[in-house]
Amino acid sequence: MDTNFEHYKVFYYVAKYENLTKAASVLKPSQPAVTRTIHNLENILGCRLFIRSKTGMKLTPEGNIFYEYVAAGCAQFFKGENNLSNLISLENGTIYISATETALHCYLFQAMEEFNSLYPNVRFKILNNSTTESVNAVKEGKVDLAFVSANLQVAKPLRMRKYRDILIAGKRFEELKAGKEELSLKELVSYPWISLTAETISRRFLNEYFEKNSLTFTPDMELATTDMILPAVRHNLGLGFIPAEFADSELKSGQVFEIKVKEKLPERNIILIYDMEYPQSIAAKEFQKFLKEKEM
C-alpha cells in the first residue's frame, strides 16, 4: 500500500484527541492538511475510519480495530525516538574517540575527567590507535573525534597543547645524572637506546632530530608502543625519550631519572581531528566546545 508513517501518525493523534484542531496543533500542519491526510488514508485502506459529529471525530468499528495496531506501533516509534534522543544528549550520550597513547596520557585522560565532572552521564568509547589509524577512523566515520600527537597537515586542526619528550634512564646509567647539568647528544649517542619501531611517526621524528644534529639514530631496542618504553628503561635496558606524564611516578620515586640534553627536542602538538561534514552528536559537540574553552 502507498502509505507512510506520517499517515499513521496523523491518524493516531486524530483518534487520540478525537479532534482535528487539537491534532493539527500537535502535528503543526494546518487543519485542512490533517483532514486531507485522513481522507487519503481512508481511500488507501478502502474503508471509513472516522465519523464526524458535533462532539468531534469518532472512530468507526474499523477505525477502532486499526487504532489498536497503530497505537501500539506509534508507542514503539516514540519510545525509540526518545531513547535515541537521550543517547545523543548530554544525559546519556556517548562520544567515540580514537587516540594515540601520548595524546591519552598527556591530555585526553585529564580532559575527560574534567568533562565528566560536568556531565557525569556522558560515556567515552576509546580506541587506542596509531596516528595513521586514528585519522583513518575519522575518515571512515568509526569515531567522532581523533586525538593525535603529531604535526599533521589536516583541514583546520584544533591545536590542543604542546608537549616535549624528556630523556630518561635507569639506575645503571647513574653517571649521566652527576656532573654536567646538560649533556650533548653526541656524548649520549654511544649508549644503548630504546625507541619505537621505524614505521611510527614518533620514530621518524627522532630520526630527524638526530639528523639535524649530524648524528644517526640506531636504537638497540625497538618497541611497538610508547608505554613499553618506560618499563624497558626502568629495567636498565637503555635510554629513551618519553613524555614526562608517562614517567611521573617513577621520576618521583627515583626508579628513573631525567637526562638534561643540550640540544632541545622540538615541541610537538596534541591536536584534535574531526570531519566537518560528519554529523556530530550533541555530546561530541559539547566536548569540542569544552576543549576550546579550556584552551582559552
148-206 pLDDT, tens digit per residue, is: 986 655 445 455 677 889 999 999 999 898 656 789 999 999 999 999 999 888 899 89
The pLDDT value recorded for residue 197 is: 93
As a whole number of angstroms, the distance between CA 25 and CA 170 comes to 74
CB 284 within 8 A of CB 165: no
Looking at residue 279, its amino acid is P
Is the Cα torsion angle 225, 230, 231, 236 positive or negative in sign? positive
As a whole number of angstroms, the distance between CA 70 and CA 12 comes to 7
Give the N- to C-terminal CA distance of the chain in Å, as an integer.
Answer: 57
Of 226, 229, 163, 227, nearest in space to 193 by CA? 229
Which triple of cell numbers denotes residue 41?
488514508
The pLDDT value recorded for residue 170 is: 95
The pLDDT value recorded for residue 66 is: 93
Which triple of cell numbers denotes residue 50?
472516522
Residue with the three cell numbers 617513577 = 250
The pLDDT value recorded for residue 227 is: 85
Regions of the chain short of the pLDDT cut 70 = 1-3, 82-83, 85-89, 150-160, 178-180, 277, 296
